[in-house]
Amino acid sequence: MASIKDVAAEAGVSVATVSRVLNDHPSVSADARTRVLAAVETLGYRPNAVARSLRTDQTHTLGLVISDVMNPYFTELARSVEEEARALGYSVIIGNADERPDLQDHHVRTLLDRRIDGLLVSPTDGGSPLMLDAARAGTPMVFVDRWIPGVDVPVVRSDGRAAVRDLVAHLHGLGHRRLAIIAGPAATTTGRERVEAFREALGAYGLDLPDAYIGQGDFQAESGRLVTEGFLDLAEPPEVVFAADNLMALGALDAVRARGLRVPDDLALAAFDDIRWFVHTDPPVTAIAQPTGELGRAAVRALVDRIEGRPGQSVTLPARLVVRRSCGENPTPVQRSTT
């Protein structure tokens, strides 16, 4: 592969001049410029990004460590992150933590070794020493979706509280009184928050959230199935199950069908995270939709701001309830409590 020296030789100039042409530095004669560009063309020269990065200490690359690539929510997030990054002149390296803190650390480490310019993370746990060190050491970093409390890093996420209130209003309006939740891992912020928001919203209707109605899941499908089976085995099973993410909702659907029961007649179902497939399931699933694309884009903008020396804003966007048929028939549009 041709290097800058070859181009210089071909054009009859020094490597410095070639470099100046390539980075369009002002003081290059028109003549030299055309000769260099011609040489670049004939040799099919492309600058070596590795060498350039070593010298400039910039890779124009962002690292994105997500919790689970098989989760459509994160897939969509990854997609919007890559799009926005590309628009701003950055590439993205994605690492899949698969909800495992050890894998998350592995990816953070290799990304730092590659000297990526900045890191976008949705942490699977409460914060490993490695990540805390990186944050303290000043690596530009932004948390997206989930975050680690007490670390001085911008957070881009959506606030589901209002939507959870809307959901509970909807459920209450349909006559449901025994409401259960399949929670995410307590080590994650979203895992905790969704339970709290649910409990609070229930409280506004004088309803309780007993421990038996809080099932511990791990954001993956199998845990949703197991927790739902547990609910169905209770002496007094819940009327509604609220799954804290889309995969656990699928597991719940599985459990209900396996017993020959029906949604929503025997058990109503709602989920956090709206995905395309929920329109096509039987019945279509009522869900809380996050502005996923916006989150990804805002996260990239915040990160690039930090990288380029600007402040880097935390962003919180509202989620909204999408009513379908999985909680009961005849859905009447629910007013959002905030906009």
Partner DNA sequence: AGTGCTCGTGGAATCGATTACATCGACGGG
Partner DNA sequence: CCCGTCGATGTAATCGATTCCACGAGCACT
Residues that bind its own copies (CB under 8 A): 1, 44, 46-51, 53-54, 59, 69-70, 72, 75-76, 78-79, 82, 86, 91, 93-94, 96, 106, 109-110, 112-115, 133, 137, 221, 250, 253-254, 257, 276-277, 279-283
Q: Are 317 and 311 in contact (CB under 8 A)?
A: no
Q: Looking at beta carbons only, is 15 or 207 nearer to DNA?
A: 15
Contact residue for DNA among 54, 70, 261, 279 (CB under 7 A): 54
Largest CA-CA distance found in the chain, in angstroms, rounded: 87
User: Rg (Cα) of the chain, in Å, rounded?
Assistant: 25
281 binds, among its own copies, DNA, none (CB under 5 to 8 A by kind): its own copies
Count the Cβ atoms, other than its own, within 10 Å of residue 20: 18
Angstrom distance (rounded) from CA 201 to CA 179: 11
277 binds, among DNA, its own copies, none (CB under 5 to 8 A by kind): its own copies
**All residues at 6 or more sequence positions from 86 whose CB lies less than 8 Å from its CB, including other chains:** 92
**Could you tell me the smallest distance in angstroms from the CB atom of residue 100 to its own copies?**
12
Contact residue for DNA among 56, 332, 335, 339 (CB under 7 A): 56
Residue 24 as a binder of DNA (CB under 7 A): the answer is no
Q: Looking at beta carbons only, is 47 or 230 nearer to DNA?
A: 47
Backbone angles phi, psi at 137, to 5 degrees: -70, -5
- Please give the C-alpha separations between residue 38 and each of 3, 7, 42, 43, 110, in angstroms, as whole numbers: 15, 9, 6, 9, 38
**Could you tell me the smallest distance in angstroms from the CB atom of residue 309 to DNA?**
15
SS3 call for 219: coil
20 binds, among its own copies, DNA, none (CB under 5 to 8 A by kind): DNA
Angstrom distance (rounded) from CA 200 to CA 139: 37
- Which stretches of the chain bind DNA, using CB under 7 A? 1, 3-5, 12-17, 19-20, 22-23, 26-29, 31-32, 47-48, 51-52, 54-57
